[in-house]
Amino acid sequence: MSHSLDQSVATGAACDLKREDFFCDTLVNLAGTLENYLGIEDASTFIARVGGDMGDAIGALYVDSDGALPQEIEAIGAILIDLKARIGGRFRIETISPTELVLINTACPFADRVVGHPSLCMMTTSVFGRIVSDATGYARVHIDEAIATGHGRCRVVVSLRRETSDDGHEFFG
């Protein structure tokens, strides 16, 4: 018996699969599997580890000729906004002070796939935390609103001074 494949199927003409979507879906599905089998907290720990490694790698892309990240909070904010824009985020600075940077995001790089997968917020937490702490020596990152948890935006607070607050995750440079 001979099997023939319709030419449009054989060439993928009817398939709208793109590399970016494939990798994004892979990560979202991995996070969902971890959340289902291990729980949100343990899944977040795994995602945080990956995010920390990504933060180190991404931070290295923004160093100056001496191999250092800028220490000025305005320059650090610009780096965080730029890196997220490059991967599909829409961050902007809400407030900035010598002790705190607050960013608002209206488009998650994971798009709507992130809804219901709050462990993926650890990518932002860890990437921001690694970059800021590498630049300044310390960061505490807290996401108090997230698209992943049903908010219409993300609100990320990056503290540059050590506090007694239990909110967020601490990073040391």
Structure confidence by residue, pLDDT tens digits, 16-28: 889 999 999 999 9
Tokens of 173: 């440079």
Q: What are phi and psi for residue 22, nearest 5 degrees?
A: -60, -50
Q: Give the chain's length.
A: 173
Q: What is the pLDDT of residue 129?
A: 98
pTM of the model: 0.90
Cα–Cα dist 120/122, whole Å: 5
Q: In a structure prediction context, what are the per-residue pLDDT tens digits for the chain, which is 173 residues long?
A: 555 555 555 566 678 889 999 999 999 999 999 999 999 999 999 999 999 999 999 999 999 999 999 999 999 999 999 999 999 999 999 999 999 999 999 999 999 999 999 999 999 999 999 999 999 999 999 999 999 999 999 999 999 999 877 889 999 99
Domains of the chain are 18-172 (3.30.1380.20)
Q: What is the pLDDT of residue 45?
A: 97
Q: What is the pLDDT of residue 166?
A: 80
Cβ atoms within 10 Å of 151's Cβ, excluding its own? 13
Tokens of 8: 């449009």
Residue type at position 105:
N
Q: What is the pLDDT of residue 17?
A: 86
